[in-house]
Structures are given as structure tokens and as C-alpha cells.
Amino acid sequence: MSTFFERIAERYEELSSNEQLVIDMVMRARDVDHLKIKTITDELFVSSATVMRAARKLGYANFSQLKYSAASAQAEHTAPLPSEDFGTITGRIISEFDKTMQMLNVDKVAEFVDYLNGARRIFCVGSGSSVSVVSDLTRKLKLLDYWVNDYNELYSIRDIADLAQADDVIVILSLGGGNDLVNQFLVRAKATGAKIISITGVGADSVAKFSDCNMLVYQAPVPRKRMRSRLMLNVAIDVVFEYILSHPRSQK
């Protein structure tokens, strides 16, 4: 039987825009076990029938089954993490930082910034734990008067293909390569002629392959399946930000 997230990856595009909003809300819910249909209908201004259709289109008999499946997936993400002693944690972070700084060579950073400087509009994309890093990058670029917005919901990422043009740039931040559905949306957006630049972990081959420019950050293996620090992504965007400050667009 498919897991909750596998069903979303397989069938999300079959949902209407309102049904997608319903599923997005279910995925965001912190305590999905107690999420009620009325809460969804009141917040999203959709009908209860829309909520039920969204559940059925994902292969569930009713909303309760959908909630149970989502809660099980949520429990996997919040399971107790294996412990590490303080010395192991700090040693790993120091090692990751050293290796990441070696990988962020000046030519690659300059190329990345050149794409930003040449863009009419910038679409910053991230999902899951990378959302906070995307928000930070968007905030920094706005401070420097770039036209930039961040996109972290599936329906908004899907719509980039309808918005992007040949002189736009899509920035992807992804430590592990994202998910197949998001990547499909972004490849479709690239077909408009927009350029894609990315900052990824060393194992994110799926994103790197369709990027026009890719910068890598290092992350050591950790005794956790799902939750991983995005610290090295933050390091990379800070390097990009500092490079832009040192090389203003007017001088390029």
C-alpha cells in the first residue's frame, strides 16, 4: 500500500486547485489527528464536499482515513532521534563547515551571482525543512532590491511554470534533492526558457542534473533518516550574500 506522501506524489496533479489547498493544509497541520473538516472549510472557504473529494482522489474512503495516514507519516517525522554526545555534534559541524567552504569556490559563487544579477525576476523554491532557508535568502535579496519571491507550497510551485519567462531565474535550495513532484513542476517551468540555479547537498543529483548552475554543500552522514540540519545551506546563502555586497551590480 502506498504511503501518504507517495499518494500525494502520484496523484496531486489530479486534484483541483481547491483540493490541493486542502491537502496542503493537512500536510501543514501540527496535530493532524485533531484536524476537523469544519476547520478546513472555515479557513480555506471551501465546501465539506471538496474536502471529501480530495480524500477520495488520494485513494481514501473518507477524511478520517486520510487523517490517520497523514498522522502516521507525521509520527515518522517526529520519532525520537538517536542521541549524540556534544563532542560528536560539534566535530561533525566543524567538518561539514570546512568541507562546504572548500566546495564553495569563487568561480562557482560568481557564476551563481551572475545569474541572479541577470534575472528580471527571481523565484526562490524550497520545501520541508529548507523553507526557512529559502525565506532567509528571499529576505536578503529583497534588502538588495532584487525582484524576488519565495514559493514553498506545492500549488504555488506548480504555478511557477505559468509565471516564468525566459529572462527569469528559479533558485532551488534542497539538501536531499526534494521530491519527484516538485522537480517535475520545476522542469516544466524550465521549459519556458527560465534558468534554474541551485544549492544542494552532494547527494541531490536529481536537482543538479536539470540546473544551469549548481553549488554543493557538504553534510556528513547522521544517525537520522529524515531530520537533518540545513546549517550548510545557510552558510552557502550567506557566502552568496556577502559576495553580492562586495560586488555590487553597478560594477558588473
Mean pLDDT value of segment 230-239: 92
Domains (ranges, CATH) in the chain? Answer: 4-77 (1.10.10.10), 86-251 (3.40.50.10490)
pLDDT of 58? 93
Q: What is the pLDDT of residue 226?
A: 47
**Dihedral (Cα; 34, 38, 42, 47), 10-degree rounding:** 130
Is pLDDT larger for residue 177 or for residue 188? 188
pLDDT tier at 76, thresholds 50, 70, 90: low
pLDDT tens by residue, 149-180? 999 888 899 999 999 999 999 999 988 776 77
Residue 229 has pLDDT above 60, yes or no: yes
Global pTM?
Answer: 0.70
Q: What percent of the chain has pLDDT over 70?
A: 90
Instruction: Place 230 in a pLDDT band, splitting at 50, 70 and 90.
Output: confident
Average pLDDT over the chain reads 86
Dig out the grid coordinates for 146 from the structure.
Answer: 532584487
More confident residue, 136 or 2: 136
For 204-215, the pLDDT digits (tens) are 778 888 999 999
Mean pLDDT value of segment 47-65: 95
